[in-house]
């Protein structure tokens, strides 16, 4: 029997990678639903190629453009995720959530009840709404699979190990395009340079987060939530070649190191085939990279946002939503060339020092509505501070 698949955000890099994997084994899978925000032309091409009967296009403008296309095959086109109950009648075997931003949280929560396994590549959902996700996973007995290379590597390393046996988990960071840039030049960093990641091909938002190392702050929060482990047991090491993705040191003296090439195909493939043994053709072991790991501590003067980790509350809170929302808007402003690169960190710190935002450290995220409201308010506040 074919396994049924749903991919949200199928036109992005994660969605494309998953479809490329499925294309080589499509006889064993049936794709029930694909979605995109705006890229309706590519979405329709994907639907035709994989014989997908249902698509969702969230943006009203591009939804109308898609509906007006001529010579469409029998594809049902929907405009929002409220239609999921109509589209999905039985539990899906595997769902991939690769929508970016806080907008990915609502469909994540909606799809948990429809999925046997859910792979989440949406950082914001895990950071801002983990309390809500965890409750849904338990209620509907849905298996969660992390997709980010770091979290997948930790998950893989922790198989058959107890959390209380962990001494330390290290997540690795490439250092991004600015690692070797002198500190005095950071204030003049241009968008083009900040986007020039040395190892990964990524979208603009995550590329800037890599340049500031905010992506590692987010990944530490995710690891803390996913693996229910304290911040004291999590650390970051700079590793320029991005060959190592996680290092786990156990109390019994053993150390596990998870390494793979800089391609998201590997963690995606392994979440798709998590319950079976399937061979993936990959490059040979890189002895040169293993002989030149070049691990080092983060330079906090160059990457001051990493110090945010020490300011985070022990328990999941709405303060994480404040940080995510503020950073998102600041990155947008930098990409729009309205603020300097160094303003991303300085203005974020200015915001979280304001008493009205400090209070969110003591408030847990109990519903989606509150998260969305705070997200909108923080973004507006940042705009007013910067423009």
Res 41: pLDDT: 93
Identify whether residues 78 and 158 lie together within a single domain. Answer: no
Res 159: pLDDT: 80
Which residue, 147, 176, 193, sits at the end of a domain?
147
- 175-179 contact pairs (CB < 8 A, 24+): 175/213, 175/238, 175/239, 175/240, 176/210, 176/211, 176/212, 176/213, 177/210, 177/211, 178/211, 178/302, 179/238, 179/240, 179/302
Identify whether residues 259 and 216 lie together within a single domain. Answer: yes
Number of structural domains in the chain: 3
* Average pLDDT for the chain: 93
Full-model pTM = 0.94
Identify whether residues 214 and 254 lie together within a single domain. Answer: yes
Q: Using CA atoms, how far apart are residues 95 and 32, in angstroms rounded to an integer?
A: 10
Res 71: pLDDT: 73
Distances (CA, A) of 176 to 209, 214, 247, 309, 326: 9, 11, 19, 19, 21
Identify whether residues 317 and 302 lie together within a single domain. Answer: no
CATH number, domain with residue 140: 3.40.50.720
Task: For CA atoms 202, 207, 213, 217, give the dihedral sign.
Answer: negative
Give, to the nearest 10 degrees, the angle between helix 343-352 and helix 204-212: 80
Which residue, 95, 122, 147, sits at the end of a domain?
147
Task: Kindly list the strands in the beta sheet with 29-36, ordered across the sheet, starting from the edge strand earlier in the chain.
Answer: 76-78, 54-57, 29-36, 3-8, 94-97, 117-120, 143-146
Res 97: pLDDT: 96
Helix/strand/coil (H/E/C) assignment for every residue in 276-310: CCCCCCCCCCCHHHHHCCCCECCCCCCCHHHHHHH
Q: Using CA atoms, how far apart are residues 234 and 245, in angstroms rounded to an integer?
A: 13
* pLDDT tens per residue, range 234-284: 999 999 999 999 999 999 999 999 999 989 999 999 999 988 888 888 888
Identify whether residues 157 and 91 lie together within a single domain. Answer: no
Res 74: pLDDT: 85
Q: Residue 114 gets which letter from DSSP?
A: T
Identify whether residues 230 and 95 lie together within a single domain. Answer: no
Which residue, 309, 332, 351, sits at the end of a domain?
309
Identify whether residues 321 and 183 lie together within a single domain. Answer: no
Q: Where are the beta strands (DSSP E) in the chain?
A: 3-8, 29-36, 54-57, 76-78, 94-97, 117-120, 143-146, 166-173, 234-238, 244-250, 255-259
Res 215: pLDDT: 94
Res 101: pLDDT: 87
Res 68: pLDDT: 86
Identify whether residues 322 and 298 lie together within a single domain. Answer: no
Task: For CA atoms 325, 331, 334, 335, give the dihedral sign.
Answer: negative
Range of the domain at 318: 313-387
Identify whether residues 157 and 141 lie together within a single domain. Answer: no
Mean per-residue pLDDT pooled into runs of 10, the chain (387 residues) = 95 94 94 95 94 94 89 86 91 95 93 96 94 96 94 89 86 92 94 87 87 96 95 95 94 93 92 89 88 93 96 95 97 96 96 94 94 96 90
Closest-CA residue to 268 (of 2, 1, 24, 83): 24
Phi first, then psi: give them for residue 79, nearest 5 degrees. -110, -15
Residue in the structure block whose two tokens are 């450290």: 361
CATH number, domain with residue 376: 1.10.1740.10
Identify whether residues 171 and 118 lie together within a single domain. Answer: no
Q: Using CA atoms, how far apart are residues 46 and 66, in angstroms rounded to an integer?
A: 13
β-pairing, 166-173 vs 244-250, is antiparallel
Identify whether residues 39 and 128 lie together within a single domain. Answer: yes
Identify whether residues 283 and 170 lie together within a single domain. Answer: yes
Q: 330, 305 in Cβ contact below 8 A?
A: no
Task: Kindly list the strands in the beta sheet with 255-259, ordered across the sheet, starting from the edge strand earlier in the chain.
Answer: 234-238, 166-173, 244-250, 255-259
Q: Residue 75 gets which letter from DSSP?
A: -
Q: 158, 258 in Cβ contact below 8 A?
A: no
């Amino acid at each position: 029997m074919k396994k049924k698949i749903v991919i949200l955000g199928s036109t992005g890099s994660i969605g494309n990678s998953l479809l490329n994997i499925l294309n080589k084994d499509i006889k064993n899978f049936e794709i029930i639903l694909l979605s995109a925000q705006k890229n309706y032309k590519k979405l329709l091409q994907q639907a035709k190629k994989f014989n997908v009967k249902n698509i969702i296009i969230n943006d009203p403008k591009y939804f109308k453009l898609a509906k007006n296309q001529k010579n469409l095959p029998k594809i049902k086109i929907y405009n929002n995720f409220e239609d999921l109950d109509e589209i999905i009648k039985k539990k899906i075997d595997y769902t991939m959530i690769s929508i970016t931003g806080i907008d990915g949280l609502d469909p994540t929560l909606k799809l948990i009840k429809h999925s046997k396994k859910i792979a989440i590549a949406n950082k914001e959902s895990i950071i801002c709404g983990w309390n809500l996700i965890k409750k849904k996973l338990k209620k509907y007995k849905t298996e969660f699979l992390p997709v980010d290379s770091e979290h997948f590597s930790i998950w893989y390393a922790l198989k058959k190990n107890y959390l209380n046996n962990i001494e330390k988990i290290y997540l690795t960071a490439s250092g991004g395009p600015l690692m070797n840039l002198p500190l005095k030049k950071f204030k003049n960093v241009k968008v083009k340079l900040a986007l020039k990641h040395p190892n990964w091909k990524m979208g603009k938002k995550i590329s800037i987060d890599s340049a500031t190392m905010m992506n590692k702050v987010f990944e530490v929060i995710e690891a803390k939530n996913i693996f229910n482990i304290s911040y004291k047991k999590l650390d970051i090491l700079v590793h320029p070649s991005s060959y190592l993705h996680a290092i786990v040191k156990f109390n019994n003296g053993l150390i596990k190191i998870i390494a793979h090439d800089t391609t998201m195909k590997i963690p995606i493939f392994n979440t798709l085939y998590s319950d079976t043994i399937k061979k993936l053709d990959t490059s040979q072991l890189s002895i040169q990279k293993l002989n030149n790991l070049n691990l080092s501590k983060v330079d906090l003067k160059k990457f001051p946002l990493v110090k945010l980790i020490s300011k985070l509350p022990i328990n999941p809170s709405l303060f994480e939503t404040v940080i995510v929302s503020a950073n998102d808007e600041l990155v947008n402003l930098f990409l729009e060339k309205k603020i300097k690169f160094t303003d991303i960190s300085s203005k974020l710190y200015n915001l979280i020092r304001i008493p009205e935002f400090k209070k969110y450290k003591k408030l847990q995220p109990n519903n989606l509505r509150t998260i969305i409201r705070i997200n909108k308010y923080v973004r507006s506040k940042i705009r007013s501070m910067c423009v």
